[in-house]
Structure formats: C-alpha cells, structure tokens
Structure 1
Amino acid sequence: MASLSLSSAPPCLRFSTSSPLRQTQPLGNAHGWCLGMEKFKPCSRRRRTLICAVGQDAEEAFKKTVEIDRLIDLLRHANPQELQKTVVENILAFNEGFWIRLAARTDTCKSEDDKKDYEELALSVMSIVDRIVHKTNEKIESSTDVLQGILKPVVDEKEEISWPPRDPEALKAMEEEVTQMEQEGQLDEGFLSEVNAQLRQAKEDGDKPGLVAMLQKVLQLYASRVLSKRSYAKRGNEVLKAEEFLEVLIKAPEEEWNKLLLDGMTFGKGDVSPEDLYAVIKKRIERTLIRTEGGSYQQRVLTEYLKGIQSRAEEIVQVFQGKPE
C-alpha cells in the first residue's frame, strides 16, 4: 500500500478552514511569558510585540494540532457506522492541515501494523468525503435545474434579460411554477443557496440589473408562499386587525405594498397604527426564528422579507409625516 502524503488528499478539500471541533484550553500563557521578558532592558517595545505575536501563533498552531489529533483518534476508534457519522459532522475539518497531520502521524508509527491502520483510515475517510462532495455537487445541479425551470417563463434566450417581463402572463406562470415547486418540496435549502449564489454573482457583475430583480422576485415569491401557510389573524372569535393586515401584505406582490399601506394604516384610510404593524412584524420574525434552523438560508430569506415590509412602512410613514428619509 502506498504511503500517505498530502497529495493523497482529495483536490477539492485542499483548502484552509477552521475545524468545527471545540477548541481546547491552551497550555501556558503566551502573554505572561512575554511580560516576563520586560526585565531585559535591551529589548525594545517592538521586539516584545514580535515575541507576543510569535507566542500567540505558536499557541494557535498547538491548539489546532490538538484538535486534529482528537479528531484522528476519534476516527481511528470508530466502527464503520460511527466513522461515517463522524466524517459528516466534521466535514469542514478535512482540510490541508488535517492531511498533513495525519501523514506526520503515519510516518512516525513505530510498527508496520499501526502504519497500515493509519493508511486504511485515510483511504476510508477520503472515500466518505468523496461521496459527500459528489452528492453535494449533484444537489447543486438539481437546484440549478429547479431555478431554471422557475425562470423559464420570464427568460427570453434571444433577448437581454429585462424586468419586469414584457408579457404579464409570463410573471403569472413564474409564480405558478414557484407554488408548484414549493408544494413538491423542491425549494429546499440547496435551492435557496443556489439562488443566493446566483444573486450575489449578478450583483458583483454589475451589468445585469434585470437578472438581479428577477432572482430577488424568486426569493420574494418563496417567502410569501412559506409565510402565508400560517395565519395568526384570529384568536378564538376575535380578529386581530394588525395580524390580518400583515398577512395581506405578505401575500401581496412587493410593488403593491405602497398602496396597501396607505389604504390600511391610520395615517391613510385604514385603522392599523404603525406601532401595531411593527409589533406584529416583530412577533412574526420571532416566530420565524424559532421555527427555522439558525443560520439557514430559509431563516434569512423569510426574516429579510418581513423586515422589508417594515422598512417600506417606515419609509411611507416618514414621507407622510413630512420627515426626510
């Protein structure tokens, strides 16, 4: 069997990232050691600063090595099922530093049996990681297909992307596609990740305002669809006007918010005060944070949509009251 080396690591994993494993407490105090150097008069402040930096770098390197060693030991003693689970849970830890450390431990083995154990462990981990990466790539391709299917009604391959689409029916078809895909469970975290990646790239390019608006519309339609599934407008036989009004806004297209806010709030023709609307938006955001996974794209898209409604209401209130934005 070939000996383990850094080149054995999968190419897609040769990058640097922090390990999700919990960091250990450092052994010793780099700051205290450096302060002890002050008794030497010839040392300048800059020299002491450099010594501190070197000490901190060494401490960080030591901590990372301890983390990697802990992960390697955990993998060595795991059965096949536990090994798969451990690799999945620590997928970001398999970076260049991990493979260098594993190669070093392999090279320092005193017995051939231990060396073979490490080599077999490396091959097993690589195999699991490769499968995970392959599945991830497949999911990305699937998410891309879903997004293309949603955008198909509003994209004319022969012309430059424009927004809004010239044909109103195209937008309606796009909305129906979002509804259908959401019902089928196609608009998952992978899909939202793909939309956000495309949106970020379009903004960076700076020359595709039509595509940016189109992708933002996709996220708005998604948020509207998901948030509309739950209603909080009734408490027994009582109708909560502010909640009911918020639900009307959630379901409405973004370009209709201005008119709805003017017609529904107390400074216009309605009976919902800005304070009451802000309160129910805050409560809906709190409910969303509880019911979605922390840090997920879904959580971000839904909360940003609700915050967008509040921002629009605040802008209109300021304009109505004659205050500068």
Structure 2
Amino acid sequence: MDTGICFFHSASHVYPRFPYRTWNNGKLGGRKFASLNFVGWKQRKTLICAVNKDAEKSFKKTVEVDRLIDMLRDADDKELHQLVVENVLAFNEGFWIRLAARTETCKSEDDKKDYEELAALLMSVVDRLVHKTNEKIESATDVLKAILKPVVNEEEEIEWPPRDPEALALMQKELNQREQEGHLDEGFLAEVNAQLRQAKEDGDKPGLEAMLQKVLQLYASRVLSKRSYAKKGNEILKAEQFLETLIQAPEAEWNKLLINGLTVGKGDISPEELYAVVKKRIERTLIRTEGGSYQQRILTEYLKGIQARGEEIVGVLQGGTR
C-alpha cells in the first residue's frame, strides 16, 4: 500500500509568476510566447493533477486502513481471526506503518498498550496463517490417522483395548497438538462422525468403533476443559469443580469419581447439584458454539453422558433402577 504523499515546497510550481499581466496577440508583455514554454506549462498542470490524484488515492487508502484497524480493535478472538483471513492481503508495509503511527499518537498509556497488544496478536495470527498456507495441507483423514496411530498394530488394525498402556496417553497428546494447530475443525469432526456411522453399520469392527468414540470423548474433554467456572471471586464452587474434574478425567474413571464425590456415595455433592451444573454448562455450550454444528453436538452429548452416568450410579447406590 502506498502511503507516501508527494508535496511541492516551491509555490512557483503551483502558481507560476509571470513578469507581465497582459496578453498581447500571442505575446506576453511584449515578448514572444514560445511554444516550448506553453508545452512546459501544460506538463506542469498535468503533473499537478496527477499529484493531487495520488494524494487523494493515498488518503482513501489511509481511511481504509484506519477502518480495518478499528474493526480489528473491536473484534473478539473469533471475529479477529476471520477478519485476518478475509483481509490477509491488506497486512502489508503500509498497514504496519499506519498502525505504528496510531500507536505513537495515542493520548493515554492504556490506549498505547492496547495498540501494542493488538499489533503483537496480529503478527502472530498472520504468521500462523502464512505458515499454515505454506505447509502441506493435510486432509481430515490424515489427521485422524495420525491420532489413531498409537493404537494401530502392524497389520494396520485397531486393537481394543490397546495392548500398550501408554497408547491412550499418546493419542491424547497427538489430539491436543492437532487441536492447538487448528486441525480439529468441522471438517475433521464430520470425518470422524462419518467413519463412526460406517463402523456401526458394518458391525464387524468393534475396535474401530470404540476408538472413534474415544477420539470424540478426548476432543470434548479437551475443548470443555479450556474454560473453568469453578471460581466466583474468591469462592470455590464445589459442584462446578466436581463437574470439571469429571470432564477432564478419562471416561473409565467416571464411576469411581462419582461414587467418591456424590452424597449417595462418599462425597458431599448432591446429585441435584451435579445435574444443575451440567445443565448450566450445556446452556453455556449452546450459546458459545454454532447452532447445529458437529462441535455443538459432540460437546453437549459428552456433558449429557456425564449426567447419564451420574444417574446410573445414583440408581445403583440407592438400590433402584432407572
């Protein structure tokens, strides 16, 4: 983006000074008006018009950059990433110069700090975007294969339960890395769901079905664990804390945690308190995720699974059935 504006410092370039005021039959003050001088005057007029147009164009560019900067400042994390993707070509030298200029002209230190943080965040997002574009783009199937690799044997078959006790931990590590890199998007979740549906229809691959379900559980646990609602000021909300313990724990440990945590067992959290915080977390999830998306469905089903297990444990401990 060209932000430079050319200015003439000499007034004679704009308003040529003539030694005489009157025209006289092709003469200027008794002198012959040379055609060369006339051409030169026309060239200067053309140059002035061109410079004025360049200045106007540059001003419009600056206004566009300022508008983009204002939008970026007001955007939340999701909106900011989307704006960067949509305007990636705008992040050229002129943009950074203008952002630096606005930073330096801030009237308060707080505003200046906001601009500095915005610049650092934008540089990070743009760098990741460019790096991701230059990388070999992996398909959702490739990402899923990489996550399942720790539980695949030499015959390319999935073993369930896995022989290696570290297999699930390695799966979790790979999934966390892929999630951090932004690979676990709707396309990935759609791929997992499609393969899970096919495995259920085939009915002859229980290991694959179990591991695909495990992938979705690990994904839900990872995403839901990013936000904590267990503290309200200096107060610890025990029911929320208990739910977050369940969210982060492997599904195989839920029974033990529920028995030790609920009042019907050895704990101090009533079933009603657990159900209430599960309901509240589901409501928060519905608000924060796109309606009808795979992500929304997977996260809410995971939370409902925790409540269903809780109801099952309560029924067993109370000697009844549900």
Both proteins in one fold, TM over 0.5: yes
Task: Note the alpha carbon deviations across 1:274-304, whole angstroms, 9 max, x for none.
Answer: 0000000000000000000000000000000
Which residue does 1:19 correspond to in 2? none
Are 1:267 and 2:264 counterparts?
Answer: yes
1:313 to 293, 310, 313: 310
- For 1:160 and 1:142, the matched residues in 2 are separated by 21
Map 1:110-259; keep pairs closer than 5 Å: 142-158=139-155, 160-259=157-256
Q: Which amino acid aligns with 2:303?
A: L
Task: Note the C-alpha offset of 1:160.
Answer: 4.1
Which residue does 1:285 correspond to in 2? 282
- For 1:152 and 1:169, the matched residues in 2 are separated by 12
Q: Which amino acid aligns with 2:196?
A: L
Map 1:28-107; keep pairs closer than 5 Å: none
Which residue does 2:57 correspond to in 1? none
Task: Note the alpha carbon deviations across 1:11-69, whole angstroms, 9 max, x for none.
Answer: xxxxxxxxxxxxxxxxxxxxxxxxxxxxxxxxxxxxxxxxxxxxxxxxxxxxxxxxxxx
Task: Note the alpha carbon deviations across 1:247-289, whole angstroms, 9 max, x for none.
Answer: 0000000000000000011111110000000000000000000
Q: Which amino acid aligns with 1:237?
A: N
Which residue does 1:276 correspond to in 2? 273
CA RMSD of aligned residues (A): 1.4
- For 2:156 and 2:234, the matched residues in 1 are separated by 53
Provide the secondary structure at the position in 2 that maps to 1:168: coil
Q: Given the two structures, how large is their TM-score scaled by the length of structure 2?
A: 0.57
Q: Which amino acid aligns with 1:224?
A: S
Q: Which amino acid aligns with 1:245?
A: F
Task: Note the C-alpha offset of 1:171.
Answer: 1.6
Q: Given the two structures, how large is their TM-score scaled by the length of structure 1?
A: 0.56
* Structure with the greater alpha carbon radius of gyration: 2
Task: Note the alpha carbon deviations across 1:220-270, whole angstroms, 9 max, x for none.
Answer: 000000000000000000000000000000000000000000001111111
- For 1:231 and 1:159, the matched residues in 2 are separated by 39
Q: Which amino acid aligns with 1:162?
A: E
Q: Which amino acid aligns with 1:161?
A: I
Which residue does 2:4 correspond to in 1? none
Task: Note the C-alpha offset of 1:158.
Answer: 1.4
- For 2:294 and 2:183, the matched residues in 1 are separated by 14
Q: Which amino acid aligns with 1:191?
A: F
- For 1:294 and 1:202, the matched residues in 2 are separated by 26
Deviates more, 1:294-303 or 1:164-173: 164-173
Q: Which amino acid aligns with 2:297?
A: R
The runs of at least 4 consecutive aligned structure 1 residues that moved more than 4 Å come to: none
Using the aligned pairs only, state the percent identity. 79
